[in-house]
Amino acid sequence: MEQQAIYAIIIFLITYALIISEKIHRTIVAMLGAALMIAFGIVNQETALHHIDFNTLGLLTGMMIIVTVTAQTGLFKYIAIWAAKKAKGDPIRILVALGLITAFASAFLDNVTTVLLMVPVTFSITRQLRVSPMPYLLTQILTSNIGGTATLIGDPPNIMIGSAVKELTFAAFIFNLAPIIIVILAVTVGILAFWYRKQLKTTPELQQELMQMSAEDELSDPTLLKKCLFILALTIAGFFAHQALHIESATVALTGAFLLLLLTGEHYLEDALTRVEWTTIFFFVGLFVLVSGLVETGVIAKLAQEAITLTGGDLTATAMLILWMSAIASAFVDNIPFVATMIPMIQEMGKIGLTDLEPLWWSLALGACLGGNGTLIGASANVIVAGMAGKEGHHISFVKFLFIGFPLMILSIIISTVYVYLRYLM
């Protein structure tokens, strides 16, 4: 192996280890790792820039702006309270309803934003009913990761896959992933509702009090809400049509974001841009450059060759390997760097023999997104909810989450295995 390839592997592994250790912020580590790749001459700056997927970055930024403005309308609180009233204040039905709302919202917004909006209203409803918020929070963590798997924009791994593979459009993601996600969601929420059925009890008086709540009062700015809903609908329609229109998904998201800012006025601009998660955006930049070092030195091609040798070039075995390896890896390490490494590897597999890559892409998406449910550190949404819960005196321990999350994650991967096999490999 060439000297440059060895340097690239060393830089990549040290960076990866530091990201996993969480001793230093992952964005700082990724950016410094990327800088080392350039400083050591493994890739030059121009090549590094070519490897940065600006479609992924633009899509994330655009959606973050739209969500930031929409969050200010009180829409999420309204929907949650409306659903709680429709559930007649029954704690188990509310658990199911909030879980489903979280999943649906996560499919079209990013998971972290969804849980950031859902958790406060969950505290509010559970406090009113005098039930523990813990089952609701755990359910929302799991359903946010499940729901995010259903669409191209729901979870960063899907954004990255959709951006790297032009044939995998927004509609293709929904067509291929949404059916199985609905099944996994129903099974997961059903199990959780059954599991918590005895723990979640309230009184008829408290249920009655909840029924008196006014959801409409939560809508703080109806005019802004109308604008946000209009732009959201337009943006989602744009995602469905982006291939036919010959424009990238980032163009759709950024156009939607800045059209919204045009409608709302300049005073939202500063705040919206400030609230974009720049740490996440730069984390992606660093990772793209890091992985470019492995691609340019032929390490990824070599790994792909090894994987093909391991599975004997058999499509079914390769798809299953990717599905399960992605799920287990994503349960313990950040799925974003994992997917950033896997994408060029799968593309390389296409060059060296495998003709039908589609089952591999869906296996990667399902494994990487659903794997996040395995542990408390498996996905950003998990960490965010645990942090918010801890601050309010409800500690979600690693072991407690593992006890619930890991078996349900394994179950979801078993269901996915059957689905991938029956739909793409039989």
Partner 1 sequence: MIRYEYDRDGLDIQERENDQDKEFIIKVKNPDKYLPELHKVRTYFSKDTVHTDALFYTHQHNEYHVIVRADYYIGFLLGLFKHKILLSLEWEE
Binding site for partner 1 (CB under 8 A): 119-120, 123-124, 127-128, 130, 209, 212-214, 217-218, 388, 391-392
- Taking the least distance from each CB to partner 1, the nearer of 214 and 355 is 214
CA 98 to centroid of chain Cα atoms: 18
CA distance 55 to 44: 21
- In whole angstroms, the minimum distance from the beta carbon of 209 to partner 1 comes to 7
CA distance 195 to 412: 17
- Taking the least distance from each CB to partner 1, the nearer of 127 and 197 is 127
Dihedral, CA of residue 251, residue 254, residue 255 and residue 258, to nearest 10:
-160
CA distance 19 to 27: 8
- In whole angstroms, the minimum distance from the beta carbon of 91 to partner 1 comes to 16
CA 153 to centroid of chain Cα atoms: 8
- Taking the least distance from each CB to partner 1, the nearer of 211 and 237 is 211
Instruction: Kindly give, in sequence order, each residue whose CB lies less than 8 Å from that of residue 127, ignoring residues fewer than 6 positions away.
Output: 133
CA dihedral over 281, 287, 290, 295, signed as positive or negative = negative
Asked if residue 98 lies in contact with residue 142, where contact means CB atoms within 8 angstroms, the answer is no
- Taking the least distance from each CB to partner 1, the nearer of 47 and 128 is 128
- In whole angstroms, the minimum distance from the beta carbon of 213 to partner 1 comes to 5
How many CB atoms sit inside 10 A of residue 230's CB? Answer: 14
- Taking the least distance from each CB to partner 1, the nearer of 121 and 331 is 121
- Taking the least distance from each CB to partner 1, the nearer of 25 and 130 is 130
- In whole angstroms, the minimum distance from the beta carbon of 212 to partner 1 comes to 5
- In whole angstroms, the minimum distance from the beta carbon of 119 to partner 1 comes to 7
- Taking the least distance from each CB to partner 1, the nearer of 127 and 166 is 127
- In whole angstroms, the minimum distance from the beta carbon of 220 to partner 1 comes to 8
CA distance 396 to 53: 35
- In whole angstroms, the minimum distance from the beta carbon of 393 to partner 1 comes to 8
- Taking the least distance from each CB to partner 1, the nearer of 306 and 392 is 392
Query: Token pair of 54, please?
Result: 């600006």
CA distance 337 to 305: 20
- Taking the least distance from each CB to partner 1, the nearer of 167 and 217 is 217
CA distance 128 to 124: 6
CA distance 297 to 175: 36
CA 364 to centroid of chain Cα atoms: 13
CA dihedral over 374, 378, 380, 382, signed as positive or negative = positive
- In whole angstroms, the minimum distance from the beta carbon of 145 to partner 1 comes to 22
CA distance 379 to 368: 10
Of 88, 122, 382, whose CA–CA distance to 212 is shortest? 88
- In whole angstroms, the minimum distance from the beta carbon of 371 to partner 1 comes to 29
- In whole angstroms, the minimum distance from the beta carbon of 124 to partner 1 comes to 5
DSSP state of 376: T
- Taking the least distance from each CB to partner 1, the nearer of 312 and 393 is 393
Dihedral, CA of residue 247, residue 68, residue 137 and residue 146, to nearest 10:
0
